[in-house]
Structure 1
Amino acid sequence: MTIDALAHPPAVVETRLVHEVHRLATALLAEAAVDPSVPLPALAELRDFLVANLRHHHETEDDDLWPRIIAAAPAMEGALGALSAEHERLEAALDLLAAVAVGDGEREGAAGGRTAADPVRAALRDAAAAVRDTVHDHLAHEEPLLLPALRDHVSPAGWQEFAQRVIATTPPVAGHLMIGFLDEAGTPAEVELVLAGLPEPVRPLLPALRLQAADCLRILRGTTS
């Protein structure tokens, strides 16, 4: 399927795809946190990726996308304001997740077992599960409002401008994980639609980023063999 053959406007396709990335990544961190086969540095990288990208995502919605929609459809201001209130609750959950001291690492106990990791992993799991649940609930509320609004009230040119700003301001935190999750979440045509806005110097790096992401995701899922 080519990009031209996509059944929905780019704004809807890209938003659905990014939301699915958030669902996949938050679920994976909550599951992997207590798997002793997953190294703490791998968990820290996924945690940092999630915190940075979820914050950036909801900030760009509040500060840029919502005003665009409200300018075209003033009646949506109240509903979008309610979604922003949910963003504030997500921010509080992200603060707790970011505060988990994953970098404390694992120490060998007297009998050779790993000791420090257990409380760290439990704390990480609890904070990650709270973020996962908040994100999944929020998207269940947001998508029925946002996806029709993108279709009806955001022009293709307006969406392109917004998407380019998002890419230009995305935090440079574990970008290979975004590529890996995108590939899992969407069809090749959908992924190419999202990646089409990447700066030209980055595009030759995509094969290497995909390999790096595949290795990291195998580690996070405990399937390194």
Structure 2
Amino acid sequence: MGSRIRPGRGYLAAMATMSMNQIIHAAVRRDVARTEQALRSMADGDGPRARQLQTAWRNLVRELTHHHEAEDDIVWPFLLSRGADEALMAAMEDEHVAMKEALTSASRAIDGVVADPSRATAEAAADVIAGARTVIDNHLDHEEREAEPLIAGLEDDPEWKARAKRMRPQAIRDAGSALAWMQDGAGPQELAALRATIPGPVVSIVTKVFGRRYTREIAPTWR
């Protein structure tokens, strides 16, 4: 790639245990897939279910938007400052634009199901979600394949560590909601990796105390 950054020595271990970035990506992939599936199985005229899916989708959009805007504002510029390939960073930004457009189209489709909770409208929205899923998955796969090894190469860089802290949710309630979302439906590998990154007691307390909005309003969507 022509970059002066090299994959960090811990990258292979991170791939085995999952990095925080991969945990977030897994939550995104999971929500997109189960939203599509829920729309395809939605009963005709089920307005409450449509509104429930709308609430869950809006949460996904909020979490993903925070994630990719932090990358645009912090990660890609920092990687460029350390010699990362300009074409790769431009591709990451372009893919974020495409992803935002796909999310907007999907949000409109789900809003349409709330307005008209028919089987036909739900099926049409599911098709839009499927299209968005392709755009999102392509970007996440590309990022994990080419950009994440560069980020891992900065694991011992003090300046990077300071920048990375700015990517965290600033409000404790947002952190609690994000942690609850990441764990909802996660498999053993993701849960273990999360607690390897953040101390288990911290995850438990912050999720239980400050993730109540997610637990109350969104988690029942997938039960």
Q: In the alignment, does 2:104 pair up with 1:95?
A: yes
> What is the rounded CA distance, in whole Å, between the counterparts of 2:110 and 2:208 in structure 1?
35
Q: Which moved more, 1:83-92 or 1:115-124?
A: 115-124
Q: Which residue of 2 aligns with 1:67?
A: 77
What is the deviation of 1:83? 1.3
> What is the rounded CA distance, in whole Å, between the counterparts of 1:79 and 1:160 in structure 2?
22
Q: Which residue of 2 aligns with 1:222?
A: none
* Native 8 Å contact 1:69 1:153 kept in 2: no
Aligned residue type for 1:123: A
> What is the rounded CA distance, in whole Å, between the counterparts of 2:52 and 2:159 in structure 1?
37
> What is the rounded CA distance, in whole Å, between the counterparts of 2:146 and 2:168 in structure 1?
23
CA distance change for structure 1 residues 32 and 60 in 2, over 3 Å: closer, same or farther? same
> What is the rounded CA distance, in whole Å, between the counterparts of 2:125 and 2:40 in structure 1?
8
Q: Which residue of 1 aligns with 2:22?
A: 16
Residues 162-218 of structure 1: per-residue CA shift (max 9 Å, x gap): 45333325895965433314x337343312245559799735427967965664322
Q: Which residue of 1 aligns with 2:91?
A: 82
Aligned residue type for 1:17: I
Q: In the alignment, does 2:221 pair up with 1:216?
A: yes
TM-score between the two structures when normalised by the length of structure 1: 0.71
Q: In the alignment, does 2:58 pair up with 1:44?
A: no
What is the deviation of 1:148? 1.2
What is the deviation of 1:104? 6.1
CA distance change for structure 1 residues 89 and 210 in 2, over 3 Å: closer, same or farther? closer
Q: In the alignment, does 2:140 pair up with 1:139?
A: yes
Matched pairs, number: 202
Aligned residue type for 1:155: D
CA distance change for structure 1 residues 196 and 103 in 2, over 3 Å: closer, same or farther? farther
> What is the rounded CA distance, in whole Å, between the counterparts of 1:25 and 1:61 in structure 2?
20
Give me the CA root mean square deviation. 3.7
CA distance change for structure 1 residues 194 and 27 in 2, over 3 Å: closer, same or farther? farther
Q: Which residue of 2 aligns with 1:129?
A: 130
Percentage of pairs with the same residue: 23
> What is the rounded CA distance, in whole Å, between the counterparts of 1:161 and 1:128 in structure 2?
36
What is the deviation of 1:103? 7.2
